[in-house]
Chains A and B, each alone.
Chain A
């Protein structure tokens, strides 16, 4: 356990600088987007209402009120989210390859540590989860902050305030890492965890068998992808006539994911202990 904790701390700190930079870029651009849209609207109200061309009511009837939708739909808000998610997904590969391809082949030291090799795997997995959950948690804080920012700039008569829960639920782009409901969150993270584990297994295939392993890894990931989408594919193929009730599709899906996770962990353990070499 101590070795595992040390490894997690080590892995997390290794990524921290990059991670903080990523978060500053993502949320910096988002905040700039929020400021751009709020001040644009504020200028509009100043130009029209403050000069007496319209009453507040006439203005809101014609232009509507300002709400989070005015900026959450903009590319300045959405794109950074996907850039962040793409960067985290990329790091799921990089967290392994940097050990092999860094200046000093660090994997030598890792694999010769007096600890079970699976601890290295689990530490990397935990780090990936921490990174993803941290990204989601900060998104909640930033949504609250952006909402507050809007309240400071736009007078109440011209804005509509969503609750934090509504704000999180507002647009589907959050649903990849963040949901408005605890059960949805659990489902989303079951997918995310499965995806990370499958990526790790594919990487270990490649590291174990090189070119042959790359092909095995790609085929493995593709088969997993097919397995995951099967229940919903069946459901959606017959969308108008669901042969599988939605709740059945969900339970089949969770069952399949459990099998995938157990199988992948088993394969990864075998590869880590017997096949991976430097």
Chain B
């Protein structure tokens, strides 16, 4: 036995060290801060179905993505291996689609904007980047009939793809039995010209398995100057699958405080194909939500978020609401926040601690719930620890 002592010591050391380390790690659930809701007003049930997604930064290099729902904080790193392999949390809708239609979802990009679902169909439309060229050259279209499980899928060349820097799908929808794809195509321009984003609607005949129509809805200039740039965003209607709001916004950051101004708002009806300019006063702020009849726009100051409910038909502001938020000490400008519209309610959460959270009933414009998301662990920004919430999903 004596002559084995070195090997025995080595084996004991290995077993003891690895066991202690991994058992300790397994038993330590609270190595990262845990969050909980702190209600100021209303019933906490209002946020029961809300999933807050964010990042926890510690030190310089390390960050952990987390999900917070029903007073439980889960960090991606602590999820099962198969869930961690992607390196990100899948959107809930994608998770659900993959669970229900695993075979159909195989080989599909995990982006909710590329899917359309109604009682009968799941439609998919994408313009994936080529494997070797990093260009969008093809449309990929697929349609699943949920009742018959019949799948139709085909690819077709993007018309004049050489004209564009990229072709980015924003919305998939169905009109009659056609799959339609709303895209933003960034056109090549000369150095002296502003960039031009063309909004296109491509119509695909599922029976013929081909592209049958292409319409250019509008062209919007976008530019990048030293202290200013323009962006185009699309906001889907919360109430129907038919309308989409196209918003052109100018961001100016000549001063320390970034100024955001809405330059143009256009309403597109995907069923009728009609395109209507909306008379929207830039003073009202930035449209961030839309329910078919009303636009909800937001303006922020360091301590408040001013909401406006704008009636598209009457072309007037019908209601206003000011939400008081905790000043964010590390931001010179107003609060950053995420807005989600779901089932007649607006969910708003500021991006930094203490994460002011609001649920607004859009019919009455009353605050249904107000609270904060508080960390139980010490999060000390002075030493590089910071938490941010950048997305909200509704279960």
Contacts and interface: CB of A to CB of B under 8 A. Distances in A.
Question: Do A and B actually bind?
Answer: yes
Interface of A: 5, 8-9, 12-13, 16, 57, 60-61, 64-65, 67-69, 73, 130, 133-134, 136-138, 140-141, 159-160, 162-166, 168-171, 180-185, 187, 237-238, 240-243, 245-247, 249-250
Given A166-B31, A247-B85, A65 B7 contact: no
B77 A137 contact: no
B58 A162 contact: yes
A190 B207 CA distance: 49
Contacts of A5: 4
Contacts of A130: 7, 10-11, 14
A249 B82 CA distance: 10
Interface in B99-140: 102, 106-109, 128-129, 131
A123 B5 CA distance: 17
Interface stretch (B22-30, B303-311, B321-329, B365-373): B22-30
Contacts of B102: 245
Contacts, number: 117
24 contacts: A5-B4, A9-B4, A9-B7, A12-B6, A13-B6, A73-B61, A134-B13, A137-B13, A140-B17, A159-B383, A165-B25, A168-B21, A180-B77, A181-B25, A181-B77, A182-B26, A237-B131, A238-B131, A240-B129, A241-B107, A243-B106, A243-B107, A245-B98, A247-B82
B169 to A, nearest CB: 13
B167 to A, nearest CB: 15
A12 B5 CA distance: 11
B382 A61 contact: yes
A243 B108 CA distance: 8
Interface in B5-53: 6-7, 10-11, 13-14, 17-18, 21-22, 24-26, 28, 31
B59 interface: yes
B254 interface: no
**9 closest pairs, A vs B, by CB?**
A247-B82, A246-B85, A137-B17, A182-B22, A160-B383, A65-B383, A243-B107, A133-B14, A137-B14
Contacts of A249: 85
A65 B128 contact: no
B384 interface: yes
Given A69-B61, A141-B17, A240-B128, A13 B7 contact: yes
Contacts of B31: 163, 165-166
Contact of A164 (B6, B21, B106, B131): B21
A69 B25 contact: no
Contact of A245 (B4, B21, B106): B106
A95 to B, nearest CB: 15
| Most chain A CB neighbours (cut-off 10 Å) among B4, B85, B383 | B383
B87 to A, nearest CB: 9
Interface of B: 3-4, 6-7, 10-11, 13-14, 17-18, 21-22, 24-26, 28, 31, 58-62, 77, 80-82, 85-86, 98, 102, 106-109, 128-129, 131, 382-385
A246 B86 CA distance: 7
Contacts of B6: 12-13, 16
Contacts of B80: 183
A133 to B, nearest CB: 5
Given A67-B383, A140-B21, A250-B82, 18 more contacts: A13-B7, A64-B60, A65-B383, A68-B59, A130-B14, A134-B13, A134-B14, A138-B17, A140-B17, A159-B383, A160-B59, A163-B31, A171-B61, A183-B81, A184-B81, A185-B18, A237-B131, A241-B107
Contacts of A240: 109, 128-129
Contact of A9 (B3, B60, B382): B3
Given A64-B384, A165-B28, A250-B81, A137 B18 contact: yes
Contacts of A12: 6-7, 10
Nearest to A247: B82
A250 B62 contact: no
B171 to A, nearest CB: 19
A69 B59 contact: yes
Nearest to B384: A160
Contacts of A160: 58-59, 383-385
A134 B14 CA distance: 6
Contacts of B24: 164-165
Nearest to A181: B25
B142 to A, nearest CB: 11
B225 to A, nearest CB: 31
Nearest to B5: A9
Nearest to A158: B383
Contacts of A159: 383
| Most chain B CB neighbours (cut-off 10 Å) among A16, A245, A249, A250 | A245
B25 A241 contact: no
Nearest to A136: B18
Nearest to B18: A137
A207 B179 CA distance: 64
B59 A67 contact: yes
